Structure 1
Amino acid sequence: MTRLRRDPRTERAAARTSGAERPRYDLALKAAPSRRPRRDPRAEAAAQRVPAAARLRLDRSQFGAATVVATHVPERQTDKASPKPIIVENPDFLVLVVPDMAGGRLGEHDRQLFGAARELAGKTGATLALVGASSADLGPAGADRVAVVARDPDAYDPDARAAEVVAAMRALDPKHVLFPESADGGDLARRVSVLTGEPLFTEAEQVSASALGRPARCRKVEQRSVPTRLISVAADSVASYSGAPREARNEQVDLASGPAKTAGAIVSATRIPADPATVPLALADFVVSAGNGVTDLDMFRQVVAALGATPGASRVLCDAGLMPRAAQVGASGTVLGASCYFALGIAGAPQHLQGVADCEHIVAVNTDLHAAMIARAGLGIIQDAQLVMPAILEELERERRETGT
């Protein structure tokens, strides 16, 4: 039950007797109770209890839900309207961004590239993304314009890509052109520099509208330059764009003005995907790990194979000899750089969380609502991993039958 809280000062003032030289109080008088409610911890705990839990679990996000307020307080608006996209109608200049977009999606390095482009564009310029396929993430990443160039996503033709970038430069006349300093992006940037005859500032770690910076001589010297037209940005050096989403308006680009296409030296090229079961954890893109909450390791291996992922494990299973030491994830094992990490029955020790700090997406399954891995995950499933694994296999089998693959 909720009781009204006493106010000793108000009671003392009401019991004071007037007309006396010294303060006198009539203890028979009682002041009206305060309107401030008294908390009822038992009622709050009952409201915070998580149903269908084997042990007592309390959802602390519901703190204070059982408190009764004496006066009426209008409810807050919990639904926040999504911010309106920023529109740059007539930009003074354009900053052309050429992301890698491996697999048709923006990677972390690509997002950092848009952050550098926004620094160069400022308030009066606009960024234009030259991509092979449109994506809904381009606007939130910081793209004001999007130019889609139809190409085979699986084909490897660096000469044709360089010719496309040169044609876009001639058609749009951008002030700056940004490339990621990666295996494909760095190669493309150097090919464009050769075709245009313009200098390329490589591996930029400091990007602003007034200067570019990069380390040299084993990082003992810092080289600085005014922003050139062609720039390649190093990974993990510039912050991603974190402002309001941009418009990402479709832009038509005439690529007919590019250099004439010639027969390249590459006759044919085929991308051969690595076997996820044998790829090292440090290079894996999708990792599924088992923790102390997984007892059926045979089913765990079936789930890993069905998802096409690389198997991992917590230190507890590796110390017990149930999983190989090479599969250990964490600061004392392998630090991951995967796009997606799926943790089954892992509570989330500090060393384990250090190993998945660079993962882009984390999905966790655990019976403990307050587990550290659940708090770190973007998607948390409060359930026993032994019940979730057969459900995953059943859903994958149903999808396979429907699609016929």
Structure 2
Amino acid sequence: MQVAAAPRPRYDRKAPASRGRPRRDPRAEQETRRVPGGARPRYDLSQTVRFGPAPDAEPAPRPAADTPLIVEAPAFLVAVVPDALGGRLSAHDRQVLGAARALAGREGGVALVSLGPCEGGGQAGADRHVALESPAGDDPASRAAGIAAALRELRPRHVLFPESLAGGDLARRVALRMGAPLFDNAEVVGPQGLVRPARGRRVEQRVAPGLLATVAPDAVAEHAGPPREARPLALESPSAEPPPSPILSAVRIPADPATVPLALARFVTAAGNGIHDLDTFRQLVAALHATPGASRVLCDAGLMPRHAQVGASGTVLAATCYFALGISGAPQHLQGVAGCEHVVAVNTDLHAAMIERAGLAIVQDAQAVMPALLRLLAEEEGR
């Protein structure tokens, strides 16, 4: 509406429109998406407002961000058998759960089937959790027999495994026991079909979703929606006894972290320009059972080997934990740690880029922190 008695045409946007359709107020729509609580404003972009409410209207109450979604009676189940080493979901396991959520849609549910306890299933998108008794030792035949018996009773529509060293082997053993075909190394997962590369990635193979499939690493995004319930689900009949195995003993022997390549390391401790006592740094790396790394500054100076360099011009990590000592965080270095699940940083600069990237930050001189950590580790071993 135009304001009268003004030298230039001016309009009152708060006044209601006299004709035509009402004007949209994007600020009011944005306010309806705001999530209550928190020091910084956060908005739920999954909600779409078809028409903005009146400026004086109160936004509808929304559930808390950590309130899990509950599916009481799913139409069908999509089972996920993770690696879950040490009872924790890996990044690959969470990607497989994200693929399962895509297959389940709104009507289905996702069931996490693990050998032993497993944490974080609800945050990763699991509606149900079946914790089977882990067999004694590390016999793959016994694990496959237990998983196959549980899947026969659970009767899921689809079963997904991670295409990893352990998950791929387990998937093929389960497929043999169940007599079902296996579609391996799927890079696209959806209700319309599964897709994988073939013939040196020159062609693509597409099939309708079957019973068993494995998902390639870093091909499907993790579940980014609200958490799920992960309700414990007990099977009625106990698992069938596995057949006698010719394997007398099976033990997983971990690799020496000092010789593991950085690209395959799970725990990396790196030194930067703020570290001058490299002998103490090497003692700390050995005490933490970590793989040593370094910034480009130390590698260019010849203080650390070139293969230990972390960053875009060195090695890009996929570690579970990255411990940065005296590293400010150049852009190339941050690119190398972008895939790390947890980052811990020690630096004297509160506004350093590595401090901002870290989930846990210690604003202190790394030279003083290293001896303190060594003392604490020595006390823990002495108990």
Q: TM-score range by the shorter chain?
A: 0.7 to 0.9
Alignment of 1:359 onto 2:340: yes
Alignment of 1:146 onto 2:129: yes
- Determine if contact 1:348/1:372 at 8 Å carries over to the other structure: yes
Q: 2:209 & 2:183 partners in 1: Cα distance?
A: 8
Corresponding residue number in structure 1 for 2:112: 129
Corresponding residue number in structure 2 for 1:347: 328
Corresponding residue number in structure 2 for 1:317: 298
Q: Identify the match of residue 236 of structure 1 among 218, 221, 226.
A: 218
Corresponding residue number in structure 1 for 2:318: 337
Corresponding residue number in structure 1 for 2:81: 98
Corresponding residue number in structure 2 for 1:264: 245
Q: Secondary structure at the match of 2:221?
A: coil
Change (3 A) 1:255 1:97: farther
Q: Secondary structure at the match of 1:139?
A: coil
Q: 2:365 & 2:239 partners in 1: Cα distance?
A: 60
Q: 2:282 & 2:196 partners in 1: Cα distance?
A: 45
Q: Secondary structure at the match of 1:274?
A: coil
Q: Identify the match of residue 287 of structure 2 among 289, 306, 309.
A: 306
Q: Secondary structure at the match of 2:219?
A: coil
1:2-401 correspondence to structure 2 within 5 Å:
81-152=64-135, 155-254=137-236, 256=238, 258=240, 261-401=242-382
Instruction: Encode CA deviations 1:293-348: one digit per residue, 9 max, x unaligned.
Output: 01111211121111111111111112222222222212222222211110000111
- Determine if contact 1:289/1:344 at 8 Å carries over to the other structure: yes
Unaligned runs of 5+ in 2: 1-38, 41-62
Q: 2:77 & 2:225 partners in 1: Cα distance?
A: 19
Q: Secondary structure at the match of 1:203?
A: strand
Instruction: Specify the code of the residue in structure 2 equivalent to 1:100.
Output: D
Unaligned runs of 5+ in 1: 1-60, 63-79
Corresponding residue number in structure 2 for 1:33: none
Instruction: Encode CA deviations 1:92-125: one digit per residue, 9 max, x unaligned.
Output: 1111110011222100100001001111111111
Q: 1:181 & 1:122 partners in 2: Cα distance?
A: 22
Q: 1:229, CA displacement in angstroms? A: 0.8
What do you get for the CA RMSD once the two structures are aligned? 1.9
Count of residues paired in the alignment? 323
Change (3 A) 1:368 1:152: farther
Identity across matched positions, percent: 62
Instruction: Encode CA deviations 1:6-57: one digit per residue, 9 max, x unaligned.
Output: xxxxxxxxxxxxxxxxxxxxxxxxxxxxxxxxxxxxxxxxxxxxxxxxxxxx
Q: Secondary structure at the match of 1:140?
A: coil
Instruction: Specify the code of the residue in structure 2 equivalent to 1:286.
Output: F
Instruction: Specify the code of the residue in structure 2 equivalent to 1:180.
Output: P
Q: 2:301 & 2:151 partners in 1: Cα distance?
A: 59
Higher alpha-carbon Rg: 1
Q: 1:400, CA displacement in angstroms? A: 2.5
- Determine if contact 1:341/1:362 at 8 Å carries over to the other structure: yes
- Determine if contact 1:330/1:352 at 8 Å carries over to the other structure: yes
Instruction: Specify the code of the residue in structure 1 equivalent to 2:176.
Output: V
Instruction: Specify the code of the residue in structure 2 equivalent to 1:249.
Output: R
Q: Secondary structure at the match of 1:135?
A: coil
Q: Secondary structure at the match of 2:322?
A: strand
Q: Secondary structure at the match of 2:122?
A: helix
Instruction: Specify the code of the residue in structure 2 equivalent to 1:198.
Output: A
Instruction: Specify the code of the residue in structure 2 equivalent to 1:142.
Output: G
- Determine if contact 1:285/1:340 at 8 Å carries over to the other structure: yes
Instruction: Encode CA deviations 1:381-401: one digit per residue, 9 max, x unaligned.
Output: 211111211221222223233
Corresponding residue number in structure 2 for 1:19: none
- Determine if contact 1:171/1:257 at 8 Å carries over to the other structure: no
Instruction: Encode CA deviations 1:228-271: one digit per residue, 9 max, x unaligned.
Output: 0111111111110111111111111145464x522223232121
Q: 1:349 & 1:272 partners in 2: Cα distance?
A: 36
Q: 1:279, CA displacement in angstroms? A: 2.0
Q: 1:81, CA displacement in angstroms? A: 4.4
- Determine if contact 2:112/2:126 at 8 Å carries over to the other structure: yes
Instruction: Specify the code of the residue in structure 2 equivalent to 1:137.
Output: G
What TM-score do you get using the length of structure 2 for normalisation? 0.80
